[in-house]
Amino acid sequence: MVMGDMRLVRNMYWVWVLGWLFASPCFADIELIDKVTHPAISEMSGIVRSSYPGVFWVHNDSGDSARLFAITPDAQVITPRWVNSRRVAQWEGHAIDNAWHNDWEAIAMDAGVLYLADVGNNDNARRDLGVYVVDEPNPRYVNRARARSFLPIRYPDQTKFPAEQWHFDCEAVFTFGGKLYFLTKHRKPGEPLGWEPGSKLYRLDTAHTDRDNVVTLVDQHALLTLATGADVSPDGSRLAVVSYVALWIFEKPEEGDHWLRGKARVIPLDRSLVKQNEAVGWETNETLLITNENREIFRFSVAESD
């Protein structure tokens, strides 16, 4: 297929998705805050709120070294206090020792522990997926941290590499009730730019370091498509999932962790504004931060959209 035909197919797919989800799309009223200009932050792929006030952790997409960056919501990088102000532009981030960056797609946090998800799986053929566990460093006093463990993961329903159904890519992880969860992004087999609707939700129940942790299939959703980021609100009442075309807000299930079966609001996103958005993180219980590959940061008020 020539490039022009591929673009046509992709455009038709977006029209199909939007037409399926929204009879009369009304785009989210989303605010562009600023753009990260720090040279070492080239392609933000994940964001999560720190336990330190006013701080968010971000990381680059595949091909980078194992490192994190601390930023403020207005896109300013935070460095250890001993970094001279004239050398901030040369700051290379908080190195994560004992770790390797293959395709870090998401980051989550719980009780002062960061989870760095090396789970990008574009061709659905990787057998080395897993999560680095890191005690959160103080970004103003520490310049590096050591991964205390690596938890290999495997999907229970993937038996071939690559899989027959390419439903085992993941760009969205979150924590809830002390557990780590994964949301999948589905591709058409053998088509790097081809997508299929749907997403599956898995839970990590073990913490083996010497063998695979087979994640538990918890839930699935037929319409949630192209999930690129997820986060549970600080009060645990809502799950935000961002995709290329929409923001999904799921209400907490009445019992258990079947998040995708609960009541959901689907808010269309204007792609001409958000472009290729890659991550979402709650700033407060009422506001979300959304980031894209262009290093832009957006704010969305859930309360104002109710």
Report the CATH number at residue 83: 2.120.10
Task: Count CB-CB contacts under 10 A for residue 47.
Answer: 24
Separation of alpha carbons 121 and 116, rounded Å: 15
Q: Name the token pair of 27.
A: 């785009």
Residue 177: which domain range?
A: 3-305
Largest CA distance in the chain: 54
- The structural domain count of the chain equals 1
Residue 19's pLDDT is: 53
Tens-digit pLDDT string for the chain (306 aa): 333 434 444 444 454 455 545 444 678 789 999 999 999 999 999 999 999 999 999 999 998 999 999 999 999 999 999 999 889 999 999 999 999 999 999 999 999 999 999 999 999 999 999 999 999 999 999 999 999 999 999 999 999 999 999 999 999 999 999 999 999 999 999 887 889 999 999 999 999 999 999 999 999 999 999 999 999 999 999 999 999 999 999 999 999 999 999 899 999 999 999 999 999 999 999 999 999 999 999 999 998 766
Separation of alpha carbons 143 and 80, rounded Å: 6
Residue 78's pLDDT is: 98
Residue 120's pLDDT is: 96
Give the global pTM.
0.91
Amino acid in the structure at residue 31 = E
**First-last CA distance in the chain:** 43
Question: CB neighbours of 59 closer than 8 A, spacing ≥ 6?
Answer: 44, 45, 46, 67, 68, 69, 104, 107, 116
Q: Which residues pair with 170 in a beta bridge?
A: 184
Separation of alpha carbons 161 and 127, rounded Å: 8
Separation of alpha carbons 201 and 170, rounded Å: 10
